[in-house]
Copies of this chain bind each other. A is one copy, B any other.
Amino acid sequence: MTDTYRRILLAARPHGLVDGATLRLDATAAVPDPGEGQAVVRVSHLSIDPTIRTWMDDAPGYLPPIGIGEVVRSGGLGEVVASRSDALQVGDTVVGMLGWQEYSLVTGGDGSTTVVPPGLDPAVVLGVLGVTGMTAYFGITDVGGVAEGDTVVVSGAAGATGSVAGQLARLRGAERVVGIAGTPEKCAWLTGELGFDDAIDYRVEDVAARLRATCPGGIDVFFDNVGGAILDACLANLALRARVVLCGAISQYNEDRPVGPRNYLNLIVTRSRMEGFLILDYLERFPGAQLEMARWVAEGRIHHREHVVEGLERAGEALNLLFSGGNTGKVVLAL
């Protein structure tokens, strides 16, 4: 007997947010049999990240664009249900690039799929202990070089990466941590449970003026998830020898013609640097960082929140949440 499964294909390249024309739900493919060295994973949770939107554009990037008619590329978590790989046993919980689909064919032993310990909350595995949390970790520690006494500002601060980045900055000795987010509730979460010193609601406040007031000595490290006007406001408020950590630009991913930071010349005035990074370059250092992060989570020093959306058919909607600001914390799709 051959079962079919559901998967979401890229039907057309989006302009702006993903809509009905972008995605096609296909239910005709047969669940594959694993070839030699392969395994089949039943996907239970998908990691919904802004970067997925960038893969939908036909533009050069750090990974090839998703092809028209291909399954949407995505990190995810699931259980091995069939295996011809020594590295993957039936019953193992694994994470990897599983895609927006109910079943995924993976290769064992090449590092593309990782077995995770049983009993962990899938949303935590994909979030604070996953690529999301690791992005915050290496962005703050390595790229930003946050040190004792720094003033650190985070944009998209109530998002999955931003919320962890701000807390990590504090654990690395930052004297002042300020978040920029889009609702009073998010700001209250940042200054309350997460312990940020201040939070700016960019939808109603003058971000540049508030930054001047709340960071009187200037910003030493700006961890940017947003780009656009918020990046410009931060560039206008840098301290000397500041570091701008480019993690992403959710304000720009849905624009056909992105806007560059007009205030970039303030990098000269303040002798500062703006640097991009990709978490793919840090895979070898994940185990140590994950151990440290897991300890902080257990000790209650890193708080996290997940926003779970149910149903594969809602994947596009879940992705759009990241750009409308409808989420707080990590967006996970439960299948």
Which residues of chain A have a CB within 8 Å of any CB of chain B? 60-62, 227, 232, 246-249, 252, 257-278, 281
Contact = CB atoms under 8 A, between A and B. Distances in A.
Question: How many copies of the shown chain assemble into the complex?
Answer: 2
Contacts of A271: 275-278, 281
A212 to B, nearest CB: 11
10 contacts: A232-B260, A257-B262, A258-B265, A259-B260, A261-B261, A264-B274, A267-B274, A267-B275, A268-B278, A273-B275
B252 A265 contact: yes
A70 to B, nearest CB: 20
Contacts of A261: 260-261, 264
A270 B259 contact: no
Contacts of A60: 269
User: Which of A249, A276, A278 has the most chain B CB within a 10 Å cutoff?
Assistant: A276
User: Which of A249, A265, A267 has the most chain B CB within a 10 Å cutoff?
Assistant: A265
Given A272-B276, A273-B275, 11 more contacts: A246-B264, A246-B265, A246-B267, A257-B262, A260-B260, A260-B261, A260-B263, A261-B261, A268-B277, A271-B278, A273-B276
Given A261-B260, A261-B261, A269 B62 contact: yes
Contacts of A61: 269
A270 B258 CA distance: 18
Top 5 A-B pairs, shortest CB-CB distance: A260-B260, A268-B276, A267-B276, A273-B275, A260-B261
Nearest to A265: B249
A12 B215 CA distance: 33
Contacts of A269: 60-62, 276, 278
A264 to B, nearest CB: 5
Contacts of A227: 265
